[in-house]
Chains A and B, each alone.
Chain A
């Protein structure tokens, strides 16, 4: 069955959304049934919590979850709902009993694997599952910059195709696809909210289906992950994408855009970071884009190789979730644009110079609060700054690595006992000194390895912090916000222009990363939320609803 496409088939700027004002979002969501993937991820969680919290008129959300670490899908979802800080405002507002009742009433957990055709369902199961679904919202994806291409293809391309296959079985064929602004590839320009299927960032025409076939065939014959990464990177580079993440997400967009059996609305967030206010100030989850950068700048690494005037297109997760509420609403009303960007570079640009300068102050405050003497008196006083990537400062990571490696190589075969007389050796307690030298040699090896990791990290980040200067247009979200009622605008309006980067970065982002992301880089755990009164202290799985397998 062929359906009408969004935006791109209707003139330069999509359908030309009427500025007559839309009904309240509560009405749009009232009684609707959404099938959602990726609700266990950072953005998916915040979006779902926000919808349940502010739009209780939603009829139902069927969430596709895969089992993990000994938990089946239901137990995993319930664990997240009852312990993740994303749901904290809702849990605290309702209390344990009412929260549980809301989840039981509104959420249906379905165990499925997106990488399998029809997500592992039979035709009959899929038809039964999708017959009253109003839209499929696909958050799931792999956000690593350089993953094994096999995994990236499965998660970002096949997963999206399979979710779209499910959408094709719904009555209205609505499919909302979460992608990334960075599918723009290597293009230093203002990026419009549009896509031309089969046109690569470097202007080369390609057949997306053929590209995928060749990519899969190419990596199938390669035994090692490194070889597969090199191969995929080569193909990505040839078309103008800087890494496997953007390449796979872009291929996915191009493939979906050519489908005639679904109406696709693509949502492209930029770099999703700590919450401004929802679920609460500073919340973050996992090691995201800026976590490693802030960690790096909190060490003695102070010369950050980035183009100071380039934009660091960061958006707080709640701003992204609010925007996503608008986009899903527009899709439900069949008035969505084809593509929505959600970034800051258009309306409230934030340069790397500012980001690094503010990082310095944020880190200094972080150490003032919780640092040891070395961190308070030394690290806190070192202020990071941007340097041109071509520069090789005296205390830069490249030279320091050379020094560490040379010292290690020199000390490896060197012993004091071989180089001084036995008498002197005894006199200066040579054994102890030899032991110290051995220990120092090991430190040099560790430093060499760590600096190697830093070099590798900077290599992966380099296209985004140095080479490519983007501005992502966000007019479609501005237009969608203009249509909102005052109450909706307060809760869901695209609010990126209101962000004070100075306050956000120093008082929200750096403390947020310090609490929620940096411990993970130190191999420490971030604790779950404590249980509410009436909830068991130790989590015990309880089925909020029967999984689909039992239902169909």
Chain B
């Protein structure tokens, strides 16, 4: 826990949309496109591409299925390659690409002594360096399952999907002594609505159409830049 955090109030940041433009599909696609050998790259990219329609439209968008399918394309890739490629991805697309609006909100929340919780459906190899860079207290994200130094293509349970339920937020709060009514949550898409609804002070950041409508309906503050 960061120094100065009172342990009761937290700020939940949905990474996708509030802190980073690129989501897990972009990361999985980039990793697949850098697999060992041209043939392997094409096959893996094709596999990741299967997840695109699931992640972009329809009911599956908000559940864990789309997330699971996204990472299936990395099955059989060596842990070495994944770790090192993720380093490159972070250097290229994460470290200097943090959205200004999110970074400012996070800075403000830390100043107010809130515990910073990042929530992401990306994998730890991509978002853990971000959490470190932003000095977050907690990171809730996915982890690729590794067996015999190779990715199995599965994610370790529990899988964080496109949406995070209010039930999860309540359980997390109870486990960590967080007062949800005195906490903030920042999200950017309609899929984040369940999380935002469960927190006392929700805030929509550069919201998509669905979240904008919800925010208007619930009179949640909207931050745009």
Q: Do A and B bind each other?
A: yes
Which residues from A are CB-within-8-Å of B88? Answer: 365
Q: In the complex the two chains form, is B84's CB within 8 Å of A361's CB?
A: yes
Asked whether any CB of chain B lies closer than 8 Å to the CB of A360, the reply is: yes
**B4 CB → nearest A CB, Å:** 34
Asked whether any CB of chain B lies closer than 8 Å to the CB of A358, the reply is: yes
Distance A341 CA – B37 CA, assembled complex (angstroms): 37
Q: In the complex the two chains form, is A357's CB within 8 Å of B36's CB?
A: yes
Which residues from A are CB-within-8-Å of B38? Answer: 382
Asked whether any CB of chain B lies closer than 8 Å to the CB of A354, the reply is: yes
Distance A191 CA – B224 CA, assembled complex (angstroms): 67
With contact pairs A502-B83, A502-B84, A506-B84 given, residues A357 and B78 touching in the complex (Cβ less than 8 Å)? yes
Asked whether any CB of chain B lies closer than 8 Å to the CB of A272, the reply is: no
Which residues from A are CB-within-8-Å of B85? Answer: 361
**B33 CB → nearest A CB, Å:** 10
B27-52 vs A, Cβ < 8 Å mask (1 yes, 0 no): 00000000111100000000000000
Among residues of A, the one whose C-beta sits closest to the C-beta of B84 is A361
Asked whether any CB of chain B lies closer than 8 Å to the CB of A385, the reply is: yes
Among residues of A, the one whose C-beta sits closest to the C-beta of B78 is A357
Among residues of B, the one whose C-beta sits closest to the C-beta of A384 is B36
Asked whether any CB of chain A lies closer than 8 Å to the CB of B104, the reply is: no
Asked whether any CB of chain B lies closer than 8 Å to the CB of A318, the reply is: no
B5-44 vs A, Cβ < 8 Å mask (1 yes, 0 no): 0000000000000000000000000000001111000000
Report which of A361, A365, A382, A501 forms a contact with B81, defined as CB distance below 8 A.
A361
**B78 CB → nearest A CB, Å:** 6
- The majority secondary structure among interface residues of chain A is helix
Interface residues of A in 371-404 (CB under 8 A from B): 382-383, 385
Asked whether any CB of chain A lies closer than 8 Å to the CB of B219, the reply is: no
Interface residues of B in 94-153 (CB under 8 A from A): 149
Q: In the complex the two chains form, is A354's CB within 8 Å of B80's CB?
A: yes
Interface residues of A in 317-331 (CB under 8 A from B): none
Distance A502 CA – B88 CA, assembled complex (angstroms): 14
| Chain A residues with a Cβ closer than 8 Å to the other chain, count | 12
Among residues of B, the one whose C-beta sits closest to the C-beta of A506 is B84
Q: In the complex the two chains form, is A385's CB within 8 Å of B81's CB?
A: no
Distance A501 CA – B88 CA, assembled complex (angstroms): 18
Q: In the complex the two chains form, is A383's CB within 8 Å of B80's CB?
A: no
Which residues from B are CB-within-8-Å of A360? Answer: 36
**A463 CB → nearest B CB, Å:** 26
Chain B interface size range = 10 to 19
Among residues of A, the one whose C-beta sits closest to the C-beta of B83 is A502
Report which of B36, B80, B83, B84 forms a contact with A385, defined as CB distance below 8 A.
B36
B60-83 vs A, Cβ < 8 Å mask (1 yes, 0 no): 000000000000000000101101
Which residues from A are CB-within-8-Å of B36? Answer: 357, 360, 383, 385
Q: In the complex the two chains form, is B80's CB within 8 Å of A502's CB?
A: yes
Q: In the complex the two chains form, is B80's CB within 8 Å of A358's CB?
A: yes
Distance A530 CA – B80 CA, assembled complex (angstroms): 37
Q: In the complex the two chains form, is A385's CB within 8 Å of B37's CB?
A: yes
Distance A157 CA – B149 CA, assembled complex (angstroms): 43
**A396 CB → nearest B CB, Å:** 14
Distance A325 CA – B218 CA, assembled complex (angstroms): 72
Distance A365 CA – B87 CA, assembled complex (angstroms): 11
Distance A382 CA – B35 CA, assembled complex (angstroms): 10
Among residues of A, the one whose C-beta sits closest to the C-beta of B149 is A354
Distance A385 CA – B77 CA, assembled complex (angstroms): 13
Q: Which of B36, B80, B85, B88 has the most CB of A within 10 A?
A: B80
Distance A385 CA – B78 CA, assembled complex (angstroms): 12
Among residues of B, the one whose C-beta sits closest to the C-beta of A501 is B80
A354-367 vs B, Cβ < 8 Å mask (1 yes, 0 no): 10011011000100
Q: In the complex the two chains form, is A357's CB within 8 Å of B80's CB?
A: yes
**A312 CB → nearest B CB, Å:** 14
**A190 CB → nearest B CB, Å:** 22
Among residues of B, the one whose C-beta sits closest to the C-beta of A383 is B36
Which residues from B are CB-within-8-Å of A358? Answer: 80, 84
**B150 CB → nearest A CB, Å:** 11
Which residues from B are CB-within-8-Å of A383? Answer: 35-37
Q: In the complex the two chains form, is A354's CB within 8 Å of B37's CB?
A: no
Q: In the complex the two chains form, is B78's CB within 8 Å of A354's CB?
A: yes
Among residues of B, the one whose C-beta sits closest to the C-beta of A368 is B88
Q: Which of B35, B36, B38, B88 has the most CB of A within 10 A?
A: B36
26 of the cross-chain contacts (CB-CB < 8 Å) are A354-B78, A354-B80, A354-B149, A357-B36, A357-B78, A357-B80, A357-B81, A358-B80, A358-B84, A360-B36, A361-B80, A361-B81, A361-B84, A361-B85, A365-B88, A382-B38, A383-B35, A383-B36, A383-B37, A385-B36, A385-B37, A501-B80, A502-B80, A502-B83, A502-B84, A506-B84
Query: 3 smallest A-B Cβ distances: which pairs?
Result: A383-B36, A502-B80, A361-B84
Known: A383-B35, A506-B84. 10 other contacts (CB 8 A): A354-B149, A358-B80, A360-B36, A361-B80, A361-B81, A361-B84, A361-B85, A385-B37, A502-B83, A502-B84
